Amino acid sequence: MAGVAAGGHLKPQIQRTIAQRCKRHEITISAYAAAPNSSSFRDLNQHLHLRKRDQPNRGGLFRQICHRPNRGGLFRQICHSAYSFNTKAEMASKDDKDQRLATIASTIRVIPDFPKPGIIFQDITTLLLNPKAFKDTIDLFVERYRGKDISVVAGIEARGFIFGPPIALAIGAKFVPMRKPNRLPGEVISEEYSLEYGKDIMEMHVGAVQAGEHVLVIDDLIATGGSLCAAIRLLERVGAEVVECACVIELPELKGRDRLGDKPLFVLVNAA
Amino acid sequence: MSGCKEEDPRIQGIRTRIRVVPNFPKPGIMFQDITTLLLDPNAFKNAVDLFVERYKKENISVVAGVEARGFIFGPPIALAIGAKFVPLRKPGKLPGEVISEEYVLEYGKDCLQMHIGAVEPGERALVVDDLIATGGTLCAAMKLLERVGAEVIECACVIELPELKGRERLEGKPLFTLLESL
């Protein structure tokens, strides 16, 4: 069903009629506000931003799609509405994405008091047991990052190793593991970062990433943002540009997003 | 085994991307570093494809990957063949109920864990790691899966170190590797 933004008053069957006819005439609609008292079809065409695909706005389009006896009523309805109108295809795509996100969220298991009392652990291993949910997770990231000139996906040990490589393979980027100390052989650079109690160290191979490369940093979850921050610093130290951090889950109460400063964060699921 | 089969042409490209780092993690060990393979998207894709082509028609429902480098190769294979991915981890990392399998190292012991309920009896499983050396880790992985009633169809690694005779330690379970290294 074509969508109507808050404030729209078009009846569902009217929306469907418009969507069908637009499809038949190969017209896409992006309609923002219809002037409340439009008195001409031309006016309305402009307001509705009706476009024949690949052609500029043309007068008469609205007349074409409303050439039924009822069109007076239809015209009046649209005039008196302010709405954002998506074609059926666009709405279907949004519905599908929401469905995928809902499934993904439902497969994540919450384990209380792990690794210590008081912590509610978000367990993604149950997501991995559902092949469709796992594939949808990867697809949602790939749809966002494909074709964006990202040449490096950096994944944080160890659960970032599960999500990073499939994304890297799909977008044609290299995969760079960001590891705990003494796991990477050969020359590394190290970055210390703070934990709730104490410190930890993250390492990256020297020469894995070149200056100027565009990088996506992946982990399963962002909590305080400490690990992601350390990863960003390592990449920036070798002159790379971190375009975004991406996680399956965010714990917004821990304000990790703020800790990333100017680096954007994209997540699929928010967990309280 | 019959006479030499011709090697798939993609394998040489993979072989040249493996970096050998001497004396890591300790003196005398020649470490086979797969991270340089991951820096070549084409070679990495070829490695995954070689496994996927082998397993996609085998009705495998579980790919079990050994922490941590098995987490890099296992998931892309699982996704491509429509199987679930089950991480096999060091102690204390998996939340909730687990089963544990101890195994012997050169000096001392280690332990591998798997989630209870991740794998059902009768499921056909593939075990993935980057490399097989003595076979101790892969053995422990297989035992975990067999203890819950799964059938391990094969173990799959990018690299084999044949001198360490890991293949024999697998007690008859098939092993498939892309390349051997001395």
B17 belongs to the catalytic site:
no
Tokens 């298991």 sit at which residue? A109
Name the DSSP class of A69: T
Residues A86 and A111 in one domain: no
Residues A81 and A140 in one domain: no
Does residue A129 register a pLDDT over 60?
yes
CA distance A239 to chain B (A): 17
Q: Where are the domains of chain B?
A: 9-180
- Name residue A66's amino acid: C
Kindly state whether B7 is in contact with chain A, defined as any CB-CB distance less than 8 angstroms. Answer: no
Does residue B33 register a pLDDT over 90?
yes
The answer to whether the pTM exceeds 0.90 is: no
Residues A134 and A263 in one domain: yes
Catalytic residues of A: 159, 196
Does residue A162 register a pLDDT over 50?
yes
Q: Is A149 left (phi over 0), alpha (psi -120 to 50) or beta?
A: left
Q: Which pLDDT band holds residue A57 (cuts at 50, 70, 90)? A: very low
Q: For residue A107, give the H/E element and its range.
A: helix A88-107
Residues A64 and A165 in one domain: no
Q: Which CATH number fits domain B9-180: 3.40.50.300, 3.40.50.2020, 3.40.50.620, 3.30.1490.20?
A: 3.40.50.2020
Kindly state whether A145 is in contact with chain B, defined as any CB-CB distance less than 8 angstroms. Answer: no
Residues of A in contact with B148 (CB under 8 A): none
| Domains of chain A: total | 2
CB atoms within 10 A of CB B97: 9
What part of A 154-183 touches B (C-beta under 8 Å)? 157-159, 161-163, 165-166, 168-169, 172-177, 179, 182-183
Residues A85 and A149 in one domain: no
DSSP B90-107: -TT-S-S-EEEEEEE-SS
Residues A170 and A234 in one domain: yes
Q: In a mutagenesis test of the A interface, which of B17, B38, B63, B77 is the best target, namely the one with the most A β-carbons within 10 Å?
A: B38
> Mean of the pLDDT values across residues B152-181?
95
**Res B108: pLDDT:** 86
> Mean of the pLDDT values across residues B107-115?
93
Kindly state whether B147 is in contact with chain A, defined as any CB-CB distance less than 8 angstroms. Answer: no
| Domain that includes residue A78, residue range | 12-92
Report the alpha-carbon distance of residue A31 to residue A61 in Å, rounded. 13
- List, for residues B137-156, the tens digit of each pLDDT value: 999 999 999 999 999 999 99
Write the CATH number for A213: 3.40.50.2020
Residues A182 and A56 in one domain: no
Per the model's pLDDT, the better-predicted residue between B147 and A9 turns out to be B147
Q: What is the overall mean pLDDT for chain B?
A: 95
